[in-house]
Amino acid sequence: MGRSLSLRELAAQLDAEVRGDALYTLSGVASLAHAGPTHLSFVLAPKYLSESLASRAGALVTDAALAERLAGRNCLVVARPHVQFAKAIDLFHPEPPTTPGVHPTAAVHPDAMLEADVAIGPQATVGAGARIGARSRIGPGSWIGEDVEMGEDCRLYGRVSLYPGCRLGHRVMLHAGCVIGADGFGLAWDGDHWRKVSQVGRVIVGDDVEIGANTTVDRGALDDTVIEEGVKLDNLIQVAHNVRIGAHTAIAGCVGIAGSTRIGSHCQIGGAAMIIGHLEIADRVVISAGTFVAKDIRDAGTYTSVQPLMPHAEWKRNAALLRHLDDMHGRLKTLERRVNDLDQQMD
């Protein structure tokens, strides 16, 4: 972005201690492997020490213990290197300014309410009764349905769909193609065909939520689907109707969450995990990538069910054994009973 900052200036913004030349000037950020003398990079753990020493980075964000082992390098010493480096990225790459106003190709219903400094992009649509908070930005081709309420400083990228009646808090970020408030998968079997069950709930999204590209959050069947404050959802996630996700939970890509499941706060769910419906997951649960969750998780901790990668021939042998596991279990129980009978006879 053409912006230059000295280590002294960065330290003031990041609440950091400078080790080295405080007047050294940087113009950007980069990874350890690709950084040059004008770049800032970061070090999180001792296992990256050798890579850090070999890096051409002009300065490193790190903690006090690692800084001692990086003697001779310019360092910004902080308590939480990853968090402070994230702040540094924003200093070098600030959000480009947005010009408030409604693009000539956008369609805004006369009954919609736009607060101060709202920006509506090309070919976006804002329905009747919608209310858009101050300084919010609506990307090109996005659809804001009737009676949607959106807080201040929200950012919607291109082709986001917000179905009627949904609610967004402040500072919500919705990436391209995500759909909030589509009908949940509600069907009733009528003897020879499926009958649609109308979904009349809403989606309620709290403050500071970020939802990734092409992620879908279904509206509730009767009650609301709720995404609490600070939740971070990656791309390509399916959140079914009546799900509730607790505050500050982070969920990686391709996760599927079936209806009416309640996920606690401060949870972490790895990519491609599958969670069936009507479950309760406690606060501060970590679910590993690829895990299939089929029952309640009532205690904090880490849970994993994925089978490790193995050579295909070995997998086939194990799969063949697995097919006979029930039979082998029955035979083992029979042998145990016979051994117990013999023991009793000998006694």
The residues annotated as belonging to the active site are: 241
- 164: amino acid identity, one letter: P
How many other C-beta atoms can be found within 10 angstroms of the C-beta atom of residue 70? 18
Helix or strand holding residue 120 (H, E): strand 119-120
- Alpha carbons within 13 angstroms on the beta-carbon side of residue 158 total 3
User: Are 246 and 269 spatial neighbours (Cβ–Cβ below 8 Å)?
Assistant: no
Instruction: Report the SS3 class of residue 257.
Output: strand
CA 96 to CA 119: how far, in whole Å? 13
Which DSSP state fits 306? P
CA 258 to CA 211: how far, in whole Å? 18
Query: Going edge to edge, which strands form the sheet with 238-239?
Result: 107-108, 125-126, 143-144, 161-162, 179-182, 216-218, 238-239, 256-257, 274-275, 292-293
